[in-house]
Amino acid sequence: MVLWTEDSESDRDLPEPIRDYLNSHAPPLKMRAAFKRGNCKWFKFTWPLHKEFYKYPKIWTPFRSPYNQFALDLDRKTVDLTDTTAIFVTSKTYSPNFILGILNSGLMEKIVRSQSKATGGGYHEYFPGNIEQLPIRRIEFITPPEERQQQFAAVE
């Protein structure tokens, strides 16, 4: 469970049950290096990266995996974990399910395996840099079939 406190400026702004829970865990939260450095308030996430994208659906994958195992989060209620990569689906053209299908395809798995570092035990890396390099071609659904054929011929 994640207690989302990022929209509160002060712990006094939080609902009483959440405030009580956090106060009961305040000593270890105040021991975090980021709090001691002044990078975060004691009751907040250390570094909530890309917070502006949390409203979008996400596709998750572990950093290391023996095969493509991308999973869709449509509820928008999770935040990034330390051993996962999150892809925020901001596209209005393609549905998250469409993108998920491409990422979990056999072809993409072969590409990942050929382009990523093998880490032992048959595992490969699924870091953001690796995923960003995947060759997912933009599809123009309004392009007439004859022009589409010409586009593919030009690519070959």
pLDDT tens string 96-141: 898 899 999 999 899 888 888 888 888 888 888 888 888 877 776 6
Q: What pLDDT score does 24 carry? A: 93
Q: What pLDDT score does 53 carry? A: 81
Does residue 2 or residue 37 have the better pLDDT?
A: 37
Is residue 145 pLDDT above 70, yes or no?
no
Q: 94 lies in which domain range?
A: 51-155
Q: Per residue in 27-73, pLDDT tens? A: 998 998 888 888 888 888 776 677 788 788 888 888 888 999 999 98
59 and 25 share a domain? Answer: no
80 and 147 share a domain? Answer: yes
119 and 150 share a domain? Answer: yes
Burial string for 19-57 (b: 16+ CB within 10 Å, else e) reads beebeeeeeeeeeeeebeeeebbbbbbeeeeeeeebebb
Q: What pLDDT score does 30 carry? A: 92
79 and 151 share a domain? Answer: yes
35 and 60 share a domain? Answer: no
40 and 60 share a domain? Answer: no
Q: What pLDDT score does 13 carry? A: 87
Tell me if 81 sits within 8 A of 63, measured CB to CB: no
88 and 104 share a domain? Answer: yes
Q: What pLDDT score does 43 carry? A: 84
72 and 131 share a domain? Answer: yes
Is residue 5 pLDDT above 90, yes or no?
no
Closest CA to 68 of 7, 30, 11, 113: 113
Tell me how many domains the chain contains.
2
Identity of residue 92:
K
Q: What pLDDT score does 156 carry? A: 45
93 and 150 share a domain? Answer: yes
DSSP labels for 20-83? HHHHHTHHHHHTSHHHHHTSS-TTS-S--TTGGGTTS-EEEEESEESS---EEE-S------TT
